[in-house]
Amino acid sequence: MELSEAEAIAAPIVEKMRPHCQHIEIAGSVRRLCSDPNDIEIVYVAKTNGRAVAALYDIICRMPKVKGEPLGKYTQRIHPGPQEVKIDFFQASRDNWGLQLAIRTGSARFSHDLAKKWCALGYRSESGILCPIVAGIAGKPVVYIREEKELFDFLGMPYIEPQMRNL
């Protein structure tokens, strides 16, 4: 599909979800402004009250399920229409929002390169939290990446705009 088609599908879904989320953003190739995305990725942090959770569940469950649970860490749904489009929903937390947004924005190679950098610093990602590769290493704290820029700072890199991450 064309980028404008993907944006036209994703934007109303995000706007329906927004009142029930602490954070929400379109990620993936749409965020990178690729001209021909294959799917849509949405990363969000749900508000914790029951009404918000129920509303998000309802919004996501209106779309046919491919895999994953509606309010799990990941679910893939199909946006029905003349051209069925896969939508990947990634639920993040306040503590891993920045890391999840960066990784889910991609590209796959870019995300892999980020992971190589944090591994070189002695960390692994565990549920979106950077933890020392060897548990209990003195001086290596768990790292919460709450904003995307924090990841770049932690890795000693300048922030790279999403549309420049297509490599």
Q: Are residues 81 and 127 in the same domain?
A: no
Q: How do residues 136-149 score in pLDDT, each as one tens digit?
A: 555 678 899 999 99
* Model confidence band, residue 98 (pLDDT cutoffs 50, 70, 90): very high
Q: How do residues 8-33 score in pLDDT, each as one tens digit?
A: 999 999 999 999 999 999 999 999 99
Q: Are residues 133 and 62 in the same domain?
A: no
Q: Are residues 130 and 63 in the same domain?
A: no
The CATH number of whichever domain residue 110 belongs to comes to 3.30.210.10
Question: What is the predicted pLDDT for the residue at 83?
Answer: 81
- 50 compared with 167, residue with greater pLDDT: 50
Q: How do residues 106-122 score in pLDDT, each as one tens digit?
A: 999 999 999 999 999 99
Q: Are residues 86 and 127 in the same domain?
A: no
Give the per-residue SS3 of the chain. CCHHHHHHHHHHHHHHHHHHEEEEEEEHHHHCCCCCCCCEEEEEEECCCHHHHHHHHHHHHCCCEEEECCCCCEEEEEECCCCCEEEEEEECCCCCHHHHHHHHHCCHHHHHHHHHHHHHCCEEEECCEEEECCCCCCCCCCECCCCHHHHHHHCCCCCCCHHHCCC
What's this model's pTM, rounded to 2 decimal places?
Answer: 0.93
Does 99 reside within a domain? no
Query: What is the extent of the structural domain holding 113?
Result: 106-164
